[in-house]
Amino acid sequence: MNQTLEKSIFEYSRPGRVAAAQLPPSGSEGAADAVRAALPEALRRRKAPLLPEVSELDAVRHFTRLSQLNFSIDTNFYPLGSCTMKYNPKACNQYAMLPEFLARHPRAPESQGQGFLECMFELQEMLKEVTGMSAVSLSPMAGAHGEFAGVAMIRAYHRARGDLARNEIIVPEAAHGTNPATATMCGCVVKEIPVDAEGDVDLAALERAVGPNTAGIMLTNPSTLGVFERKIGEVARIVHGAGGLLYYDGANLNAILGKVRPGDMGFDVIHMNLHKTFSTPHGGGGPGAGAVGVAARLEPFLPVPIVAHGEGGYRWLAEAERPQSIGRLSAFMGNAGVLLRAYVYMRMLGREGMSRVGEFATLNANYLQARLRDAGYELAYPTRRASHEFIVTMKKQARELEVTAMDIAKRLLDHGFHAPTTYFPLLVPECLLIEPTETESKETLDAFVEAMVAILAEAQADSAKLKGAPYTMPVRRLDDVRAAKQLELTWKPPQAATMAG
């Protein structure tokens, strides 16, 4: 790779340069006068904002070059555990970006959006079918937003029954950080419980944790440890028995798509990461989409709007039709364009394709797990089947060679592979969480194993080399401590930066 770093867009800027084709059409000449006439002096901006003054070609080249500094699914294998970095089909993007879909205003009447609304209604129906839930709302805009909606519904459900003491959310210690953060955002108290040596929830600890204050439990299944929670039936009995509800974090839904449905496992509320399981793009950190599904008793609390179908066609249900709703989570109706991409993906896969997702995601993970084990990597849960992902622990290498999981991760970049998730889940020391997804070929997985073999050999022969990785990226390891202490959060002209420093 070895690109030289691209300078800041502000360094290309020259006073008075404009991308003239982007200025408003001629015939607008009097506009500036109209502004002066309409706006009192005190309300007007006095100093122009710091925006670049560049040509269109400058801009295109700069941002194209920046794109080339990134790893992405389109350019590299991206086995990032818990993130489901599968191929994002180009058709999903193209057909979500048809001009009429892009131009539709969120407040356009339903009569001017029947095509769009039909897609949304069918998406709700398909998501109900694959998850085994009774009703779905598409409005949450990310996984964590869906989590928020889910826990808020659990609270609203208990409150509506006059069950006001239930404010405790139980979370296994392996859970995503968003789970406890969400519970706090919903005004709940978090109770963490341990898992046993084989990765299942510690049932005795769960029995002790539940009680009259239990609002619910948040679980990911397969769990973040990369294994199926085998005692899910007992967990459901214990939590339901105590009057609590079960929340399913859909982060790992890809593992079981078409094989097991959260609704059949006893879950009352779920969120789905459409940007994982249903292949909408991650976009360098969003937009996501975190649709929520619920069992019948929670349906009145779903966030609005929801699409309904009746004699007059498709229409939105809002606060008036859903008085018990937890309300509106976005100004309009969520990440509609992302939802269209998920719709296209699900229709292309269809019922046969959908049930193969879980199968081949699981086949790839178990294959990679077997090959890495045979190559000398220690598995965190060697007695278990991998789900769609699995954990390797480098604790032995860390002790004997002072080589960490982070070193392995950084060295993989030099081999052209994105690093697996590192140091998550927190309870497995020096871990790499590896998720290949179903869209990768055997050749790619084999090439990844070869790189891992080479890295392990290097760890034994020349650990200092390994600890200096990466060498071929646009930058070497970055000084994170300096970044947090000497805050440089905006670009400053060179002389100003010197003066401030």
Partner 1 sequence: MPFIPHTEDDIRSMLATIGAPSIEALFDEIPPALRAKGLDGIPPGLSEMEIGRLMSERARRDGRPLSFLGAGAYEHHIPSAVWAITTRGEFYSAYTPYQAEASQGTLQVIHEYQTMMASLTGMEVSNASLYDGGSAVAEAALMAVRAHRRSKSLRVIVPSTVNPDYRRVALSTAGNQGLRFETVPYVRDSGCIDLAALGAYAGEDIAALVIQQPNFFGQLEDVDALTDWAHAQGMLVIAVVNPTSLAVLEPPGDWGAKGADICVGEGQPLGVPLSSGGPYFGFMTTRLELVRSMPGRIVGRTVDLEGRAGYTLTLQAREQHIRRGKATSNICTNQGLLMTAATIYMTLLGPTGLAQIAEVSLARTAQLVAALTRLPGVQVAFTGPRFHEAVLRLDRPVAGVLRALEAQGVLGGVDLSADFPELGPALLVCATETKTAADIERYAAALGQALQASRAA
- Residues from 429 through 448 that contact partner 1 (CB under 8 A): 438-442
Q: From CA 247, how far away is CA 180, in angstroms rounded?
A: 13
Regarding 381 and contact with partner 1 (CB under 8 A), the answer is no
Residues 265-284 interacting with partner 1 (rule: CB under 8 A): 265, 279, 281-284
Assess whether the previous peptide bond of 79 is cis (omega < 30° from 0).
no
Among 297, 327, 400, 496, binds partner 1 (CB under 8 A): 327
Other Cβ atoms less than 10 A from the Cβ of 74: the count is 11
3 state SS of 271: strand
Token reading at 97: 């970006």
The least distance separating partner 1 from the CB of residue 319, rounded to whole angstroms, comes to 8
Residue 312 binds to partner 1 (criterion: CB under 8 A): no
Q: Which is nearer to partner 1, 484 or 499 (CB)?
A: 484
Q: CA–CA separation, 409 vs 257, rounded Å?
A: 29
Among 135, 202, 308, 353, binds partner 1 (CB under 8 A): 353
Query: CB of 270: closest distance to partner 1 in angstroms?
Result: 14
Contact with partner 1 (CB under 8 A): which of 300, 317, 360, 463? 360
CA distance 373 to 105: 53
Least distance to partner 1, CB of residue 88, Å? 5
Q: Does 39 bind partner 1 (CB under 8 A)?
A: yes
Quote the least distance from Cβ 396 to partner 1, whole Å: 23
From 401, 400, 418, select the one nearest 409 (Cα to Cα): 418
Side-chain-side CA neighbours of residue 381 (13 Å): 26
- How far, in Å, CA of 255 to CA of 388, rounded? 5
Minimum CB–partner distance for residue 382 and partner 1 (Å): 13
Give SS3 for 106: coil
**473: contact with partner 1 by CB under 8 A:** yes
Q: Candidates 2, 27, 323, 498: give the one binding partner 1 (CB under 8 A).
A: 27
What x-and-dash track marks residues 210-229 binding partner 1 by CB under 8 A? -----------------xx-
Distances (CA, A) of 304 to 149, 270, 439: 10, 16, 34
DSSP, collapsed to helix, strand or coil, labels residue 215 as strand
Binder to partner 1 among 219, 270, 419, 452 (CB under 8 A)? 419
Q: Does 317 bind partner 1 (CB under 8 A)?
A: no
What residues between 89 and 108 interact with partner 1 by CB under 8 A? 89, 91, 93-95, 97-108
Whole-number Å distance between alpha carbons of 169 and 247? 10
